[in-house]
Amino acid sequence: SGQKVCYGDPKRSCYKLAYFQDLSRRVGFQEARQACEIDGGALLSLESEAEQQLIENMLQNLTKSGSGISDGDFWIGLWRSGDGLATSSACPDLYQWADGSISPFRNWYTDEPSCGSEACVVMYHQPTANPGLGGPYLYQWNDDRCNMKH
């Protein structure tokens, strides 16, 4: 199915990673959010460096499983609501977690968020990409257009 259910911790009962090599099965932010809600969950909100590291380890294990995972970013539950384009210096402070959590933890890639028309957030997973100014495009966050397929 392209999905793997992983262990949780006492605070969260489960983490579920969904990765589809078949590009036609990848979805936009709202579709991903709805899929999580249908399963009784929510898109991931990350509350600490330790939780970020846990997710990175899960993604590394998924990659090592021999499933042939290649480039493909993962939606997380961070997004910026509001109409129009956000271009002010306050833009980074406008992002909020879809599940209502208030964690201030952020793991933006260098020069992100770029704001403008990009209001939904992915965790980079591009192991074959050449590193940029912020290093490899692995596990840091990037704002993207909400209709992109991840």
- pLDDT, tens digit, for every residue of 120-133? 999 999 988 899 98
Residues 102 and 83: their CA atoms lie apart, in Å, by 21
Quote the pLDDT of residue 6.
Answer: 56
Residues 90 and 77: their CA atoms lie apart, in Å, by 20
The tokens for 62 are: 């998924």
The yes-or-no verdict on residue 5 having pLDDT over 60 is no
Q: Which residues pair with 108 in a beta bridge?
A: 141
The tokens for 3 are: 């999905």
Domains of the chain (ranges; CATH) run 2-144 (3.10.100.10)
Tell me, what amino acid is at 67? Answer: S
pTM for this entry: 0.86
pLDDT band at 104 (very low <50, low <70, confident <90, very high): very high
